[in-house]
Amino acid sequence: MTLDDRAASAAFIAALEAGDLEGVRRAPKAESHTHGPFGGDRAWLAARTGRDIVPVATPLVSMDEMHAWTATHVGDLFKGPEGRRLGWEGAFVRARRDGLTRVEFGDDVWMITQGVGDAPALYAGISAAQAAVAPEIVWVPQLGLSRHCKRSWLWRWITPFLEAGGWEALDLSGDELIQPIEVFQPLYRECKTRGMRLKAHVGEWGTADDVWKAVESLELDDVQHGIAAADSPAVMRFLADHAITLNVCPTSNLLLGRVARLEDHPIRALFDAGVRVTINSDDALVFGVGVSEEFLALHQAGVFSAEELDQIRRWSLTPAE
């Protein structure tokens, strides 16, 4: 560690122990699990649009309830080219306020059917938002696939993005139980040949075996959530042995009813089993917390010591090879 790194660690640990949110925000950190406009800054969006998006306060019971919540509270705010631009800018405002030095996100390939521009225009739009709001933050451009879509559609939509280039990561999200993971294998193979970092949402609603199967079949570098792995010592050992990173979102897990109490969050068991974890916000606008609040809450709930949280923070800054 350099002297600067040591000073950042000391300041972060002191801020956690003092319950100083601003101090936690000032520490360099990276986020690998956030969904663009849904990770936006509530106060900034309210000032810009007059709409205050009040976050979810009590646990929702299903993804259907989550979709209904989104339709009521967010509605058409991020639709159309102007809405998209607003969403991206809000995401970079929150990233900056949260002290992120690197953030991985992007758009779903399906967006090219939504009248917000072609593949190069979508890349240019996010890039322009970053340049306007947070040029000091490293943006890792990420493509998204929705799990319910037919593979033939996904091929058609992703092709212009891959041809235009510039995308460095791939993620799969949506209803985890709707299609077998193998459906996506050819798409992941193609992105692997292009040197992209491979991620997928799995083990949030599914099982430990689903996590193992997805990592094997898609050759994942990172798992989004993956908390069900904590049910299986064998799967945790497999993740640790292969240096797979789990990008965990504790508040999202609480508010979607995946975990009953923060004190019992499986991130502790994963960490103890040697699994590399990072701490993320998922949808900061929906769940009402950024990465800094997540760190502070885990410390205050006694899940991790400040030193352990600093280790996790430093992991986020140096992705496993």
| Residues of the shown chain interacting with Zn ion in the complex, contacts defined by CB under 5 A | 282
Nearer to Zn ion, 130 or 252 (CB): 252
Nearer to Zn ion, 41 or 282 (CB): 282
Residues 159-182, buried b or exposed e (16+ Cβ, 10 A)? eebbeeeebbbbbbbeebeeeebe
Nearer to Zn ion, 15 or 95 (CB): 95
Nearer to Zn ion, 248 or 312 (CB): 248
- Please report how close the Cβ of residue 33 comes to Zn ion at its closest, in angstroms: 6
106 strand-pairing partners = 142
Cβ neighbours of residue 216 under 8 Å, at least 6 residues apart? Answer: none
Angle at 129 (CA atoms; ends 91, 282), nearest 5 degrees: 20
- Please report how close the Cβ of residue 304 comes to Zn ion at its closest, in angstroms: 21
| Structure token digits, residue 65 | 């309830």
- Please report how close the Cβ of residue 35 comes to Zn ion at its closest, in angstroms: 6
Nearer to Zn ion, 283 or 310 (CB): 283
CB-hemisphere CA count at 13 Å for 307?
0
Angle at 257 (CA atoms; ends 255, 260), nearest 5 degrees: 100
- Please report how close the Cβ of residue 258 comes to Zn ion at its closest, in angstroms: 12
* Closest among 191, 204, 35 to 105, alpha carbons compared: 35
Residues 104-131, buried b or exposed e (16+ Cβ, 10 A)? bbbbbbebbeeebbebeebbebbeebbe
- Please report how close the Cβ of residue 191 comes to Zn ion at its closest, in angstroms: 18
- Please report how close the Cβ of residue 282 comes to Zn ion at its closest, in angstroms: 5
- Please report how close the Cβ of residue 34 comes to Zn ion at its closest, in angstroms: 8
- Please report how close the Cβ of residue 173 comes to Zn ion at its closest, in angstroms: 5
Nearer to Zn ion, 27 or 262 (CB): 262
- In the chain, what are the helix, strand and coil shares in percent, each to the nearest 5? 55, 15, 30
Report the residue closest to Zn ion, judged by CB. 282
* Closest among 197, 195, 159, 202 to 181, alpha carbons compared: 202
Nearer to Zn ion, 9 or 34 (CB): 34
Nearer to Zn ion, 9 or 247 (CB): 247
What is the rounded distance in angstroms from the CA atom of residue 90 to the CA atom of residue 92?
Answer: 5
